[in-house]
Structures are given as structure tokens and as C-alpha cells.
Amino acid sequence: MTVVKHPLVQHKLSLMRDRTTNTATFRDLCREIGMLMGYELLRDLELSDHSIETPVGPMRAPVIAGKKPVLAPILRAGMGLMEGVLDLMPGARIAHIGLYRDPDTLEAVEYYFKAPDDLAERLVVLIDPMLATGNTAVAAGCRLAERRALNVRLLCLVAAPEGIERFTSAHPSIPVYAAAVDSHLNDHSYIVPGLGDAGDRLYGTQ
């Protein structure tokens, strides 16, 4: 578990938590924090040397090795956070994982899945802004495993201890990157203090 404590990440997260932050500002902040957290998550990408010509002369220059990563946001809230990571790596492939939490059972229900065929050959960044019960992220991790994804990392904004325990128990090989670990879940399985429903706040549907 990695908590990204960069001051800019923490500052932007505090602004996102504020209930008075409007939809447009929340959306911008989500994109910005996604870029900052993506920088941390991707800091150990492998490099290889390629021959290039600068205006002054030839050199061997480092470039990212291997196939481009896959960004796999859980719809719909994951899309806002994904945009910031995509700003860092515009050539990344995008997988879409459609899951929602049943309001009665709290279990994850899949309604859509589309991903590149060669997940086994790529880094996959699973994106779920709120790791609450962990059920949705666990289901997404299982779906990626079915498609033979071998190198997966989970990116989230805020996690609850319950969600971390559930996810890491189900997927011990997937590292988790979060901006904060909050206190607990309330009776409705929302993270406390959290920031509310990330999807509703992103898209103005609350």
C-alpha cells in the first residue's frame, strides 16, 4: 500500500473533499490529482536506449520500453481520475470496466467490459477513485485476471481500511496507490470522512 503524500496531492484532495466545491472545479481537480498520482505510480517504468539525433549530434537516449500501458477505469467515476493519467501517457490503451454496486447487497454487478486482447503483455492501471467496501475493485481485478493481466496496479483517491483489507486479501499481488486512507465506512458503506459519491460529484448528478 502506497499513500501518495505529495503536498500538491494532499492540497487538491482537500479541495475535492469540500462539499462547496462545484462540479467543474471538482472535475478539474480530479484530472490534476490523477496526473500527479500517475507520476508516482509510473515512476518505475522500464527504459531502453534508442539512437536519436539532437540538433548538435547523435546520442543514445532513454525511452519507455515495451508495449504501452492500459488504463482501466471502473465506470463511471474512474473516468475522471483516468484523464489525468492519460495526460501523462496519451498513447496508453484504454479498457472500460462497467460495474456498479447493488444498493441492497453491496455486491458488484458487471454490465460492460472491453479491453485490449494482449493484457498479459502490458502494465494495467486499474482505476477506482473510492475503495470503500472493495467489492467493485475486487470484481474488476478478477475480470482482469480472467483476461490474463499479469502486471496490475490499483489507483484510487480515498480508501477505507475495510476496502484495503478486502482488496489485498483477494489480490495480494496488486499494489494499491491512494491519496488517503480514511477512518471507516458508515452504515451506508460510504467512506468517512471521504468526499461523497465521486461519480455524482464529477458529473453533477447528485
Dump pLDDT digits (tens) for 148-190. 999 999 999 999 999 999 999 999 999 999 999 999 999 989 9
Torsion sign, CA atoms 4, 5, 8, 11: positive
Question: Mean pLDDT over residues 100-118, rounded?
Answer: 88
Residue range 120-138, pLDDT digits in tens? 999 999 999 999 999 999 9
pTM (2 d.p.): 0.94
Q: In the chain, what percentage of residues exceed pLDDT 90?
A: 93
CATH of 2-44+67-203, one of 3.20.20.540, 3.40.50.720, 3.40.50.150, 3.40.50.2020: 3.40.50.2020
CA 177-42-108 angle, to 5 degrees, is: 40
Question: Mean pLDDT over residues 54-68, rounded?
Answer: 96
Count CA atoms within 13 Å of residue 57 on its CB side.
1
Res. 206: pLDDT tops 80: no
Distance of CA 139 to the CA centre of its chain: 15
- Which active-site residues does the annotation give? 101, 105, 197, 200
Tell me what the pLDDT averaged over the chain comes to: 95
Q: Checking DSSP bridges between strand 70-75 and strand 58-64, what pairing results, if any?
A: unpaired
Domain layout of the chain by residue ranges: 2-44+67-203
